[in-house]
């Protein structure tokens, strides 16, 4: 069943998002970029098939 959103709730949400964009977030709430430290490869994967997958 779809959730029905009223005009009042939509405008309240839009105003909140707009105010947050103008004010900005404190550094403690800003997301840090993710760092990939390892890559898991499937069992039986050959280097040729991996190169094909990575090039596409």
Q: What is the pLDDT of residues 19-52, one digit of tens each?
A: 877 777 666 666 777 787 887 766 766 667 767 7
* pTM recorded for the entire structure: 0.38
Q: How many CA atoms lie within 13 A of 17 on its CB side?
A: 6
pLDDT at 13 over 80: yes
Q: Which structure tokens are listed for 37?
A: 């430290």
Q: How many CA atoms lie within 13 A of 36 on its CB side?
A: 3
Name 41's Cβ contacts closer than 8 Å, sequence gap at least 6. 50
Q: Which structure tokens are listed for 52?
A: 């094909």
Instruction: Check residue 11 and give its pLDDT.
Output: 92
């Amino acid at each position: 069943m779809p959730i029905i959103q009223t005009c009042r709730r939509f405008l309240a949400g839009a105003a909140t998002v707009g105010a947050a964009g103008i004010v900005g977030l404190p550094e403690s709430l800003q997301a840090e970029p993710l760092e990939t430290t390892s890559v898991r490869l499937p069992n039986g994967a050959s280097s040729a098939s991996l190169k094909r997958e990575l090039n596409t």
